[in-house]
Amino acid sequence: MAIEQAKVFVEDLQRGMFVSRLDRPWTRTPFALQGFYIRDLEEIRQLQKYCRYVYVDVVKSVGDVGVRLRKITRAATVQQTKAGNAPDSRQPRRVPVAINCKPVLISRDAYAAPEPAQKEANKARELHGRIIDGMHQVMVQLRTDGPLPTGAVSEVVTQLVDSVLRSPDAFSWLARVREKDEHTYSHSIRASVWAVVFGRHIGLRRKELVQLGMATLLKDVGKLYVADEVLQAKVRSPREELEYRRFVDNSVRLLSADPNIEQAVINIVHCHREQHDGSGYPRGLRGGQIPVLARMCGIVTFYDEATNPRGAEYPVPPSKAVAQLYDLRNCAFQEQLVVEFIQSIGLYPTGTQVELSTGEVAVVVEQSYKRRLKPKVMVVLDKNKQPVAPPRLFDLAADDDQKQKLVNSGKKSLQEVGLVTVSKDLDPCRYPQIDVAAIRDQYLFERRMSGFLPSIFSRLLPGR
C-alpha cells in the first residue's frame, strides 16, 4: 500500500500541499481542525511560527508538488516490494522496528549563518586538493607497510571542518561534481564532506566534527586487504560477503596501530557498518549501542554509495537516494538522524540539475538555508530545452519575497505573479550537453558571466 502521509518540516512546505496533521494539538493553533491546503506564503509563515513539522496528505496534495510527492512515495513503495519479493534478493524486506534509542541532542544555532560559497571557494578548492594528496599518501604508505601520515591527514581534516563551518556549500560543490578523473573524487572524501556538513547542521562540537571527519575519511583503509574481485562484485556469494566485511576489522587494526589516532575515531570506524535493527556488522549492535557519530557515519556512507553507485557513469539524482535512505528509517538507521541528514543537505544540493515550474532547466548553485526548496540556480536551458544565452542566475527565495510583497500590497494576485518552484530534479544524464563542473567553476571562482556560455555548452555549439 502506498504511503498516504509524509512528514514534512515547515521549512520545506510548498503551495498545493494538504496539511492533514500537526506536530501539536490543532486547538493550540489558529488552523482548521479538519486540515487545509496551503495557498500562499503567509500560511507557510504561520505554520513556521507554531510548528516544527507537519504531516502532508500525499493523495490530496495538488499541482506539481502533489505529483512529486506521489512519485517519491510510489517509488519507495515499489522498491520495498521488490526488495521483499524478488526471488534472488539477498535480504528480506526491511520492516521498521521499535528500538530503545534516546533522541540525539540537536543544537540548531550552534554556528553562525553560512557565508556565501564564493567567499570560501578558493580556500576550499586548495584544501580539497590537499585532502586528495593526503589520501594518496595514506594508500602508498599502506601498500609499503610504512607509517600512516596521520598528522597531515588530521591537519587537513581540521581545516575541512573550519571551511564547512564557514560555508557548507563551497565544499559540497566539490564533493557533488564528479570529474573525468574519478579517483580524485573518491567515496571516502565525498562521505567525509557530507559527514561534516551533517554534523554542523545538528550542532556537534568542533572536536566531534574533526573526529567524525577523520573517521569517515579513513574508514575504508582496510579494503586494501580485500581482493579486487570481491570489492567490485555486484553480487557476492555468502563466502565473498564474509570476506568483504572483514575490511572493518582490518581498518580498526591498521588505525589502532597508530598512537596518534584517537580512540573515538577508531570507535566510529569500528561501528559505522552497524545498523539500527541489529542487522549490521561486525558485532550486530543495535539502537543506542551504536555510538552517535558512528550512526552518522553510516548514514553518509549509505547516501554517497546510493548517489554514486560503483561503476555507474553518472551519479543518481539526490531525490532517489533520499527516498532510499528514508525508506530505511528505523530499520538500518535511526529515524531522527535520517530526517536531520536530509535536512542538512536539502532535497536539491548544489550541483543538482532541476526542472523549474516554468519548464526551464537549471543547476542549483547555492542553498537557501532557511528555505531549502528555494535555492539559487543557474538557468541553462529554456522551456524548449535550448541553451539560454547567457545563462541566468535566479534566486527562487528572493523572487518569492518580491512577488509576495506585490500580493500583500494588493497590486497583484497570487495567480498573476506566478511563483516559480522546483518541479523535480533530473537524472544527470538527461541533458549531457550541460557541463556542471564548468558552471561550478564559473560561479565559484570566476565570478563573472563573460565567456560563460562557450565553456558550458561547448558540445552544443557549432565549430567547437
> Where are the chain's structural domains?
5-85, 117-345, 353-456
Q: State pTM to two decimals.
A: 0.74
CA 116 to chain centre: 19
342 burial via Cβ count (<10 Å: 0-12, 13-18, 19+): buried
Segment 432-454 mean pLDDT? 72
State which fold the 117-345 domain adopts.
Hypothetical protein af1432 (1.10.3210)
How far, in Å, CA of 126 to CA of 134, rounded? 13
C-alpha to C-alpha distance for 303 and 300, rounded to whole angstroms: 5
Segment 373-399 shows an average pLDDT of: 92
Other beta carbons within 10 Å of 286: 18
pLDDT tens digit sequence for 196-225: 999 999 999 999 999 999 999 999 999 988
pLDDT of residue 348: 85
| Cell 500562499 -> residue | 40
**Residue 363 reports pLDDT greater than 90:** yes
Most confident of 36-40, 80-84, 428-432, 454-458: 428-432
pLDDT at 81: 47
Dist CA 180 CA 185 (whole Å): 10
Residue 410, C-alpha cell as written in the block: 494588493
**Residue 107 in this model has a pLDDT that exceeds 70:** yes
Mean pLDDT over all residues of the chain?
83
What local confidence, expressed as pLDDT, does residue 362 receive? 96
Q: What tens digit of pLDDT does each residue of 36-93 get?
A: 888 878 788 888 888 888 888 887 777 666 666 666 655 555 544 444 443 333 344 5
Taking the CA atoms of 419, 318, 364 and 436 in sequence, report the sign of the dihedral they define.
negative
User: Rg for the chain (alpha carbons), in Å?
Assistant: 23
Residue 294: per-residue pLDDT: 98
Distances (CA, A) of 4 to 33, 51, 58, 134, 322: 19, 21, 5, 48, 18
Q: How far apart are CA 63 and CA 70, in angstroms?
A: 11
Contact in structure between 254 and 222 (CB atoms under 8 Å): yes
Length of the chain: 464
Q: 181-190, 221-230, 276-285 — which is least confidently predicted?
A: 181-190
Confidence of residue 412 (pLDDT cuts 50, 70, 90): confident
Task: Catalogue the E-assigned strands of 278-398.
Answer: 353-356, 361-366, 376-381, 387-395
Q: Is the model's pLDDT at 339 over the cut of 80?
A: yes
In angstroms, the CA 438 to CA 434 distance is 9
Angle at which helices 335-345 and 292-307 pack, to 10 degrees?
A: 50
Cα–Cα distance measured from residue 436 to residue 456, given in angstroms and rounded to the nearest whole number: 7
Strand-pair partners of 355:
361, 424
